[in-house]
Amino acid sequence: MNHILYFPTRYFPAISGAEFYLQSIAEIMNSKYNYTVDVCTSTAIDFKGLRHAEGKTISPGDKYYDRVNNLKISRYPINYNINIDEKLHAIKSLSSYRILQLSDECLIEFLKNGPYLDSLIEKIKFPTNFSLDLIHTTFFPYFNLLIALMLGKILNKPTVCTPFFHFSNPRYHNKHLVEALEKFDTIIACTALEKKVLTKKLGISESRIKIISMGVNFKKFNQSSEQTKSEFRFKRKFFRTNEKDYKMVLFCGYKNFEKGAISILKTIPNILKKFPQVYFVFIGPSTIAFNRELSKLRKIIEPRIVNLTPDNLKGYYDPIKIAAFKESDIFLMPSRSDAYGIAYLEAWASGKPVIGANIGATPEVISNNFDGLLVEFNNYEDIAKKVVTLLKNERLSNKMGQEGKKKVQESLSWYDVAKKTHQVYMELIQN
């Protein structure tokens, strides 16, 4: 029985695509492929918690602290009270780090991003603390990647990284940060475009990069799944008017500029001028910038916005979230920071058309004018035009939603992802 360590930056109840990806395949590897699976992570819940004590963290005794579904979770506290010079000295004194031959600039950049887990760092000094066959970590560019590499070196075991490389965002191209990616035995890219950037622009060996797309639990989101009287009705709860008369545009993700959430807010007045009967629903962690823009917007338009955070939800498959996807008319996420975009798959599983930005990996995920539409990133007029097009053309909207549904049903389940990942593991473990 092979023993795998999963080492994400955060873990559920932290909610983002990277964490959801590792949680999904970890549970399948344990149940279907008979791996012994350990999960190691920080105590951070939100992104701020990775670096600052003011962020959200989870504590011993909290629900999900040491077990999520069928897996045991080992969480390590983040030390916020140690300065960069002390961190540098501590890490550079480790033989497992010196073997990596990374520059000081690389180490400093990763230390700035956090999370700094000194109790785990102390533990990896002694190989007898671990019995592993492979280590799989995510996502770039956070310090857990370097810890995973150090652990792999001291144990002489293969390391895998799924970086979710946001290659449309300039800050991800920092040459010092990229040094670390070159040290992994295998990198899993979500798209051919991501692989191309990693090889052609960043110089990572093509032979070490595998392409495995993301997945979706089709049955959870499928619109035609058996309806029950107790099923949650989103519009009935959150809309202030007759649900039959109003359309619904859904965004689900981190509410920041990168994901396109702020662009949507600035676009809403233009959309309402051309199509007044529409609600906009935002689900995901909020940011200060989003809340500021939302506050300004609510002063000039009717309350047509439903804004939900993870505090309102009970996990990735929360009935409120699933109902929102099933009852929406369009899924809109014009992001430049997605290495893939799991939420597009969830919308397609629900039979809905999607709108994404014509940048980064998204054009490889969304087939423009076939299962969705592409817009120019942060272009309010273009976003408004495409949204109104689908709101007014129900036949086109339904056709795109059904094409997306066929695509995910045929080959984009989490079991498809896990099967391909299992094959990657076997190649590394048996070599």
For the segment 46-57, the average pLDDT, to the nearest whole number, is 93
Q: What is the mean pLDDT of the chain?
A: 92
What are the pLDDT digits (tens) for 258-296? 999 999 999 999 999 999 999 999 999 899 999 999 998
For residue 345, the surrounding DSSP H or E stretch is helix 342-349
Tell me the pLDDT band of 299, cut-offs 50, 70 and 90: confident
Q: With beta carbons less than 8 A apart as the criterion, state whether 40 and 9 touch.
A: no
**Residue 229 has what pLDDT?**
43
pLDDT band, residue 172 (cuts 50/70/90): confident
Cis check for the bond before 303: say yes or no (omega within 30 of 0): no
What CA–CA distance (Å, rounded) separates 284 from 409?
25
Please classify residue 198 by burial: count the beta carbons closer than 10 Å to its beta carbon, then call 0-12 exposed, 13-18 middle and 19+ buried: buried
User: Is the pLDDT score of 411 beyond 70?
Assistant: yes
pLDDT at position 129, please? 79
pTM value?
0.92
Pick from 207-211, 316-320, 379-383: least confident: 316-320
> Mind listing the domains of the chain with CATH numbers?
3-215+414-430 (3.40.50.2000), 218-411 (3.40.50.2000)
195: region left, alpha or beta (phi > 0 left; psi from -120 to 50 alpha)? alpha
**Where residue 223 falls among pLDDT bands split at 50, 70, 90?**
low
User: What average pLDDT does the segment 230-243 reach?
Assistant: 77
Alpha carbon 247 to chain centroid, angstroms = 27
Q: What are the start-end ranges of the H helices in 260-304?
A: 261-274, 288-298
Whose tokens are 């996990």? That residue is 315
